[in-house]
Structure 1
Amino acid sequence: MPAPRRSAAFALLILAAASPAGAAGIRLGAPFGDHMVVQRDRPVRVWGEAAGGAGVEVRLGPRMARAAAAADGRWSATLEALPAGGPYVLAAESGGEKAGAADVLVGDVWLCSGQSNMQMTLKECDGGLEAAEAAGALAKLRLGSIGRRASAAPESGGDVRWRVASRDSARDFSGVGFFFAADLSADPALRDVPLGVLDASFGGTMCEAWTPAEALAGFARDDLRDSMFGVKPSALYNGMIAPLGKAPIKGVVWYQGEGNSDRPASYPRLLAALIASWRGRFESPDLPFIVVQLPDYAAGWGGVSWAWMREAQASAVRATEHASLAVGIDTNDGSDLHPRRKREIGRRAALLALHDVYGRPVVARGPEFQRATPEGGSLRVAFDAAGDGLASRGGGPIRGFAVAGADGRYRYADAVVEGDAVVLRSEAVPAPLTVRYAWGGAPGANLVNRAGLPAAPFRTDGATRPDADVQRPPVGRIVRTRSYETAINGVGSVTSLVVGGRQFLSNEPGWGGGTTITGGLAPRELADVHEPGPGCVAFRDDLVDLVLEFGDGRMDWTVANRGKDEIRLRIALHPRVAVRRRGDAEPVELRRDAAAVLVTGVDVVSDSEGGPVLEAVIGGQASKRLSLSIPDR
Structure 2
Amino acid sequence: MSATCVPRLVVAVVLACSAGTVVADEPLLSAPFGDHAVLQRDQPIPLWGQAPAGEEVHVRLGMQDARTRADARGQWRLQLPALGAGGPYRLEVRAGAQVQQLQDILLGDVWLCSGQSNMELQVHRSLDSRSEIASAGNAQLRLLQVEKQASAEPLARFAKAPRWQLASPDSVRDFSAACYYFGRELQPVVGVPIGLVHASWGGTRIQAWLSAPALRGLGDYAAQLDVLEQRERDPAQAIAGWGKLWQAWWQRQPAVAGGQLPWQDEAAASWKDVQPSVRWIDPQQQDVVGMHWYRATARLTPAQAALHATLQLGPVDEVDMTWINGKAVGSDAGADAPRAYAVPAGVLQPGTNRIVVNVLNTYREGGIGGPPERQALVLDDGTRVPLQDWQGQPAPADVGTPPTAPWMATSGLAGLYNGMISPLAGYGLRGAVWYQGESNTFQPDQYAALLAAYRDDLRARFGSELPLLVVQLANYGAAPLHPQDSEWARLREAQRRTVADDAHSGLAVAIDLGERGDIHPANKQDVGRRLARAARHVVYGETLSASGPVALHARRQGDRVSVEFAQTGDGLVAYGGAGPVGFELCGATQESCRYATARIDGDRVYLHAGAVTGAQRVRYGWADSPVVTLYDRDGLPAGPFELPIE
TM surpasses 0.5: yes
Q: Offset at 1:429?
A: 3.3
Q: What are the ranges of 5 or more consecutive residues in structure 1 without an aligned counterpart? A: 463-633
Q: Offset at 1:274?
A: 1.3
Q: Distance in 2 between matches of 1:64 and 1:330?
A: 50
Q: Relative CO higher for 1 or 2, CA cutoff 8 Å, sep ≥ 6?
A: 2
CA contact (8 A) 1:204 1:228 kept: no
Q: Which letter does structure 1 place at the counterpart of 2:632?
A: N
Q: Distance in 1 between matches of 2:488 and 2:407?
A: 19
Aligned counterpart, 1:38: 39
CA contact (8 A) 2:45 2:82 kept: yes
- Secondary structure of the 2:28 match is strand
Q: Distance in 1 between matches of 2:26 and 2:414?
A: 33
Q: Offset at 1:316?
A: 1.7
Q: Superposition pairs for residues 112-511 of structure 1, below 5 Å?
A: 112-136=113-137, 138-158=138-158, 159-187=161-189, 190-191=190-191, 193-218=192-217, 219-221=219-221, 225=404, 226=406, 232-282=412-462, 284-298=463-477, 305-393=487-575, 397-404=579-586, 409-425=592-608, 428-429=611-612, 432-461=615-644
Q: Distance in 2 between matches of 1:361 and 1:452?
A: 17
Q: Offset at 1:15?
A: 6.5
- Indicate the larger mover: 195-204 or 424-433: 424-433
1:312–1:5 distance in 2 versus 1, CA, 3 Å = closer
Q: Distance in 2 between matches of 1:43 and 1:395?
A: 54
Q: Superposition pairs for residues 66-77 of structure 1, below 5 Å?
A: 66-77=67-78
Aligned counterpart, 2:275: none
Q: Offset at 1:4?
A: 6.8
Q: Distance in 1 between matches of 2:47 and 2:5?
A: 41
Q: Offset at 1:332?
A: 2.1
Q: Which has the higher strand share?
A: 1
Q: Distance in 1 between matches of 2:554 and 2:14?
A: 55
Q: Which letter does structure 1 place at the counterpart of 2:184?
A: A
Q: Offset at 1:148?
A: 0.8
CA contact (8 A) 1:55 1:69 kept: yes
Q: Distance in 1 between matches of 2:534 and 2:128?
A: 22
Q: Which letter does structure 1 place at the counterpart of 2:498?
A: A
CA contact (8 A) 2:181 2:529 kept: yes
CA contact (8 A) 1:374 1:432 kept: no
Q: What are the ranges of 5 or more consecutive residues in structure 2 without an aligned counterpart? A: 18-22, 225-402, 480-484
Percent identity over paired residues: 43
- Indicate the larger mover: 163-172 or 125-134: 125-134
1:215–1:11 distance in 2 versus 1, CA, 3 Å = closer
Q: Distance in 2 between matches of 1:28 and 1:156?
A: 12
Q: Distance in 2 between matches of 1:123 and 1:20?
A: 37
CA contact (8 A) 1:393 1:452 kept: no
Q: Distance in 2 between matches of 1:407 and 1:289?
A: 34
- Indicate the larger mover: 127-136 or 158-167: 127-136
Q: Which letter does structure 2 place at the counterpart of 1:194?
A: P
- Secondary structure of the 1:402 match is strand
Off by >6 Å, runs of 4+ in structure 1: 18-22
Deviations 1:96-146 (A, max 9, x none): 11123211111000000011110000110113332222211x220001111
Q: Which letter does structure 1 place at the counterpart of 2:602?
A: G
Q: Offset at 1:65?
A: 0.7
Aligned counterpart, 1:501: none
- Secondary structure of the 2:163 match is strand
Q: Which letter does structure 1 place at the counterpart of 2:566?
A: D
Deviations 1:53-89 (A, max 9, x none): 0001011111111111111111112111111111111
- Secondary structure of the 2:518 match is coil
Aligned counterpart, 2:281: none
CA contact (8 A) 2:91 2:101 kept: yes
Q: Distance in 2 between matches of 1:213 and 1:229?
A: 14
1:391–1:227 distance in 2 versus 1, CA, 3 Å = farther
1:108 aligns with 2:109: yes
Q: Distance in 1 between matches of 2:154 and 2:465?
A: 23
Q: Distance in 1 between matches of 2:44 and 2:114?
A: 24
CA contact (8 A) 1:25 1:95 kept: no
Q: Offset at 1:315?
A: 2.0
Aligned counterpart, 2:306: none
Alignment RMSD (CA, Å): 2.6
Q: Offset at 1:17?
A: 5.3
CA contact (8 A) 2:141 2:166 kept: yes
CA contact (8 A) 2:409 2:416 kept: no
CA contact (8 A) 1:376 1:431 kept: no
Q: Distance in 2 between matches of 1:17 and 1:126?
A: 39
CA contact (8 A) 2:476 2:515 kept: yes
Deviations 1:274-327 (A, max 9, x none): 111111111x11100001110101279xx9530011011112222333111111
1:88–1:121 distance in 2 versus 1, CA, 3 Å = same
Q: Distance in 1 between matches of 2:525 and 2:588?
A: 42
CA contact (8 A) 2:5 2:410 kept: no
CA contact (8 A) 2:4 2:439 kept: no
1:36–1:178 distance in 2 versus 1, CA, 3 Å = same
CA contact (8 A) 1:36 1:196 kept: yes
1:228–1:401 distance in 2 versus 1, CA, 3 Å = farther
- Indicate the larger mover: 16-25 or 72-81: 16-25
CA contact (8 A) 1:26 1:94 kept: no
- Secondary structure of the 1:205 match is coil
Q: Offset at 1:426?
A: 6.1
Q: Offset at 1:228?
A: 6.2
Deviations 1:334-356 (A, max 9, x none): 32111111111111110010111
Q: Distance in 2 between matches of 1:388 and 1:290?
A: 24
